[in-house]
Amino acid sequence: MQVTRILAVRHGETAWNRDTRIQGHTDIELNEHGRWQAAQLAHALRDEPITACYASDLLRALETAQAVARTRSQTVTTHVGLRERCFGRFEGHTWRELEQRFPEESLAWRKRVPDFAPVGGESLVQLQARVVSAVEEIAARHPGEQILLVAHGGVLDILYRSATRLGLQAARSWELTNTAINRLLWSPEGLSLVGWADTSHLQSDHGKVLDERHA
């Protein structure tokens, strides 16, 4: 049985990442540091055999994927199933603002209540179903090959949980660093984890990761 190797990457940094604002489906472009991260990612993957590049259709993910694709004379295929979780009326607010304006909803979000959805947004259950379906659909096209998927923190979180068989409410101990390289395998039996949060391409001379680390 041939497996599909997946390089799963969160988009580069945006201004809203810096401000800890919830982005969701709001279409925010990369900031200067995010574009630097995307360039570093492209350089790190220069010798990787990548058959196809896929990305969320949101600009921050698409820009990141295009930085990699350009160095390989490839194009990026977008897929709405790779979008970040829709946060409805939460979008545009900082975490502190949410705690002040919507304390009960904010608590349900922090506790990762699986069927909780902000007004106008998605629940974790809905996000999981969408993401897993999209990744299975894409991976099934490429048996025996390696592909790049550029998406979002919430999407990467779902992929990690799926690959390690962790529930939606399990406390997160893994990082979702912007443009970290995460390696997965997919077969019809599901996802498995190969490696996570490789940030060696983002290191400064002093070993500090030049990155925003919030989910």
Catalytic residue positions? 11, 84
Q: Look at residue 132 and give its three-state secondary structure.
A: helix
Structure tokens at 109: 């979000």
Pairing of strands 52-55, 146-151: parallel
Give burial (CB, 10 Å; 0-12/13-18/19+) of 4. buried
CA 20 to centroid of chain Cα atoms:
16
- In this structure, what DSSP letter does residue 181 have? E
Measured between alpha carbons, how far is 158 from 150 in angstroms, rounded to an integer? 14
The neighbour count for residue 200, using CB atoms within 10 Å, is 10
CA 73 to centroid of chain Cα atoms:
23
Sign of the torsion angle spanned by Cα atoms 89, 94, 97, 102: positive
Cβ atoms of residues 157 and 167 within 8 Å: no
Closest listed residue to residue 29, CA positions, set 45, 13, 42: 13
